[in-house]
Amino acid sequence: MKRILITGAAGFLGSHLCDRFINEGFHVIGMDNLITGDLKNIEHLFELKNFEFYHHDVSKFVHVPGDLDCILHFASPASPIDYLKIPIQTLKVGSLGTHNLLGLAKEKGARILIASTSEVYGDPLVHPQNEDYYGNVNAIGPRGVYDEAKRFQESITMAYHTYHGVETRIARIFNTYGPRMRLNDGRVVPAFIGQALRGEDLTVFGEGLQTRSFCYVDDLIEGIYRLLFSDYINPVNIGNPDEITIKDFAEEIIKLTGTEQKVIYKDLPVNDPLQRQPDITRAKKVLGWEPKVDRSEGMKYTLDYFKGLSPKELRKSEHRDFS
Ligand code: UDP
């Protein structure tokens, strides 16, 4: 049985990856420090013989006994609000954490795929963004801790490939949504759905003319799976090119939920990218991959998930103690 280590296993994407690799017959070792992850996302796996869980921070030395065939590095805070609250941990997991996992991959002869991000393009001056674009990032802005950690992550991953011959893969993930997103992590999909379900007005930042392109989680997981088993070394964008303004997106959520609430406008966060749309030509070519689930369908599944939360969970505002 093949053995895979998945970091960030209790998080949104990590938990879906655990499910996928369990279903593919792997022995899955999940790792998470639970700063932003939630064990509820993987509780259903604990009874399985081919799943084990390590409560560990990958910024510290990582040891896994036995053989390892693959590593997926998905540990990181991933919402702009989280980076503001825990900037140092965000930098460490992308840099020191990646270094530790590359060292582990080298030691075990394992293939490693790292979760990079569309944030490496920053506030892009090229539209849509293809993988050859170098990006426009403010290193010292509030998002810099995430963006630069991820850029460093790509560099060190390539260096381990070039100098140590480690089998590496780099996925540049664009905005992804679906069940198991944290209701109050501040990202726009759970924010709007949570507001609609609680009967609050939807908070659009700025004039809402900034765009995003949302990819449903099942499509994303399929893209990651294909990339891991491809022989392609350079970064690959994984995302859905269907672009929408945030203002129009708020209207879609109002319609979908049937809420009586309206849109209210708040200040635009510093360095909030104006436009974002993946160019997925490369993913189509090298992975034969493109998204299948359109936004109206994916948002329905996501709404069903959030409707299934208890009233207490739904009311709970985010007062996580990150210390
Ligand atoms: N946004 C918004 N209202 C919210 C939360 C987010 O208008 O309550 C906007 C945010 O300013 C950004 C977009 O939605 O332009 C996506 O934000 P998110 O935090 O989901 O991720 P980002 O793509 O910026 O990393």
- The model's pLDDT over 156-199, given as tens digits with 9 standing for 90+, comes to 999 999 999 999 999 999 999 999 999 989 999 999 999 999 99
Residue 317's pLDDT is 60
Confidence of residue 235 (pLDDT cuts 50, 70, 90): very high
The two tokens of residue 99 are: 């270094």
Residue 312's pLDDT is 87
> What is d(CA 313, CA 38) in angstroms, rounded to the nearest whole number?
13
Query: Alpha helices, DSSP H only, in 95-215?
Result: 96-108, 144-164, 188-198
Residue 212 is classified by DSSP as E
pLDDT above 70 (res 286): yes
Which residues are designated catalytic?
146
> What is d(CA 165, CA 143) in angstroms, rounded to the nearest whole number?
32
pLDDT above 90 (res 299): yes
Adjacent-strand bridge partners of 29: 5, 52
The whole-model pTM stands at 0.97
Q: What is the CA radius of gyration of the chain?
A: 19
Residue 322's pLDDT is 57
CA-proximal residue: ligand 1, atom 16 (nearest): 188
> What is d(CA 91, CA 76) in angstroms, rounded to the nearest whole number?
9
Ligand 1 center–CA 210 separation, angstroms: 9
Classify 2 in phi/psi space as left (phi over 0), alpha (psi -120 to 50) or beta: beta
Query: Taking CB atoms and a 6 Å cutoff, what residues make up the pocket around ligand 1?
Result: 79-80, 175, 186-188, 191, 203-205, 210, 212, 246, 269, 272
Q: Which pLDDT tens digit goes with each residue over 124-153?
A: 999 999 999 999 999 999 999 999 999 999
Ligand 1 center–CA 187 separation, angstroms: 6
Ligand 1 center–CA 31 separation, angstroms: 28
CA-proximal residue: ligand 1, atom 5 (nearest): 188
Mean pLDDT of the chain: 96
